[in-house]
Amino acid sequence: MIIAVDGPTASGKGTIAKALAAHFGVPHLDTGLLYRAVGYHCARTGGDVNDPAAATAACAFPESLLAEPELRSEATGGLASRVSVHPQVRAALLERQRAFARQPGGAVLDGRDIGTVIAPEAKVKLFVTASVAARAMRRWNEMRERGEDHTLAGIEADLHRRDERDRTRAEAPLVAAPDAILLDTSALGRDAAIARAIALAEQALRAH
């Protein structure tokens, strides 16, 4: 059983994916964290995230880096969006993600191309979205809790830029799979969004 959860930044897909994994008792992979690690490792070692060769070399980041709190920062999110446009980076991380998805017992993966590229055979595909305004407010609150000083307008502008990069890149653009179930969380709180996602997933599994 593979559950694919795709969607743009701050749509709630990560929270939903973790909850689905806990509900169904399977492991979870935040694939965006891999790209954040590549971007962070590239920049930290003096590489240019806009250079395909430097970004690809950074795919050999140490596994311990995935526990680095800085990966969750707004700045690292921007780096991840920039390295993810390189086809070489996506190819380097492809098999790692597919192996996780196809492990015995199943898995939940969240990202931007799970249902379209990584695991198109997934039995459940959710595309989680929300308005830019709602997503910016969530991200702003998250940043405030972490002690990061960002303006709401700045975060909203950054989300627009990331969405544009993600949707227009040549390789694996952010797009809902034809058979994905759309879940708009703009007006939903955390618990309501999770409950709705679980209900949709169970319904999809029953249909298989």
pLDDT tens, 153-196? 999 998 999 888 888 887 778 899 999 999 999 999 999 999 99
Identify the band that residue 202 occupies on the pLDDT scale cut at 50, 70 and 90. very high
If you average pLDDT over residues 139-163, what whole number do you get? Answer: 88
**Number of domains the chain contains:** 1
Tokens standing for 52?
Answer: 């395909």
Q: What pLDDT sits at residue 195?
A: 98
Q: What pLDDT sits at residue 101?
A: 96
Q: What pLDDT sits at residue 201?
A: 97
pTM: 0.86
Q: How far is CA 110 from the centre of its chain?
A: 5
What CATH code is carried by the domain that includes residue 65?
Answer: 3.40.50.300
Percent of the chain with pLDDT over 70: 100
Least confident span in 95-104, 114-123, 170-179, 181-190:
170-179
Identify the band that residue 14 occupies on the pLDDT scale cut at 50, 70 and 90. very high
Q: What pLDDT sits at residue 116?
A: 94
pLDDT tens, 23-32? 999 999 999 9
Q: What is the domain extent for residue 11?
A: 2-207
If you average pLDDT over residues 60-74, what whole number do you get? Answer: 91
Q: What pLDDT sits at residue 9?
A: 87
